[in-house]
Amino acid sequence: MNAIMQESLRAATISVLVENESGVLARVIGLFSGRGYNIDSLTVAPVDDDRRRSRITIVATGTEMVIEQIKAQLDRLVPVYRVADLSREGPHLARELALIKVVGAGEKRAEALRLADAFRARVIDATTESFVFELTGATDKLDAFLDLMRPLGLIEISRTGVAAIARGTRTI
């Protein structure tokens, strides 16, 4: 309808350092649902010795205006220390981990194992008719591996969502 909506979408990887108090995750999630923003991935865990601070990594897709809004809205939450847009503040690394269960026999099973080797996935559980692979990498690498596993007996996936950090000496 207008210029804003024609603007192109981008996926932003946003790191948020928060006080580890009760309800802080609900506050962040409520902000997204209440304002209609889309979350592609969200991870959270304490990151300091005394577990007082947690780091939330959010991957969200939106127009530039929406991404800026998301950052500003996050930043004004009382328990938020800092919001960093890793995709804008310089090169960064983003990784997620997936546990992938593949069931099959014969040539399909052998092919699954060969591909897992090519992707450097580890076998962390095996039976005569199944494997559980552990794979770490960027989201698109995981997606590519899962696409390959689908015809080979993929039956279950558990993914952690993205954890991200800036390259070099920069910190949040």
Partner 1 sequence: MNIVTQQSASGAEILLRALKEQGVEVIFGYPGGAVLPIYDALFQQNAIRHILVRHEQAAVHAAEGYARSTGKTGVVLVTSGPGATNAVTGLVDALMDSIPLVCLTGQVPTHLIGNDAFQEADTTGITRQATKHNYLVKRAEDLARIVHEAFHVAKTGRPGPVLVDLPKDILINPAPYTEAAKGPHRSYRPRIEPDATRIADAVALIKGARRPVLYTGGGVINAGPEAAQLLTEFAGLVGAPVTSTLMGLGAFPAANPQFLGMLGMHGTYEANLAMHGCDVMLNLGARFDDRVTGRLNAFAPGSKKIHVDIDPSNINKNVIVDIPIVADARAALRALIDAWKSDPTRQDHAALAHWWQRIESWRRKDSLKYTQSLSPGAVIKPQHAIKRLWEMTRERDTFVTTEVGQHQMWAAQHYRFEKPNRWMTSGGLGTMGYGLPAAVGVQTAYPNALVIDIAGEASILMNIQELGTLAQYRLPVKIFILNNEYMGMVRQWQELLHGGRYSESYSAALPDFVKLAESFHAVGLRAKTIDDLDPVIAEMIATDRPVIADICVDPRENCFPMIPSGAAHNEMILGPEHEDEAAGITDEGLVLV
- Considering the complex, state which of residue 35 and residue 170 has its C-beta at the smaller distance from partner 1: 35
Q: How far is the CB of 116 from partner 1 (least distance, A)?
A: 43
In a 10 Å sphere around its CB, with 0-12 CB exposed, 13-18 middle and 19+ buried, how is residue 88 labelled?
A: middle
Q: How far is the CB of 111 from partner 1 (least distance, A)?
A: 49
- Considering the complex, state which of residue 14 and residue 80 has its C-beta at the smaller distance from partner 1: 80
Chain positions contacting partner 1, by CB under 8 A = 1-4, 18-19, 22-23, 26-27, 30, 34, 65, 68-69, 72-73, 75-81
| Contact (Cβ atoms closer than 8 angstroms) between residue 154 and residue 108 | no
- Considering the complex, state which of residue 35 and residue 150 has its C-beta at the smaller distance from partner 1: 35
- Considering the complex, state which of residue 4 and residue 123 has its C-beta at the smaller distance from partner 1: 4
Helix, strand, or coil here: 87? coil
Q: How far is the CB of 110 from partner 1 (least distance, A)?
A: 51
Distance CA 166, CA 81 (A): 17
Cα dihedral value 29, 155, 112, 43, nearest 10: 10
CB neighbour list of residue 50: distance below 8 Å, 6 or more residues apart: none
| Contact (Cβ atoms closer than 8 angstroms) between residue 14 and residue 70 | yes
Give φ, ψ of 43 to 5 degrees: -130, 155
- Considering the complex, state which of residue 72 and residue 126 has its C-beta at the smaller distance from partner 1: 72
Q: How far is the CB of 78 from partner 1 (least distance, A)?
A: 4
Q: How far is the CB of 73 from partner 1 (least distance, A)?
A: 5
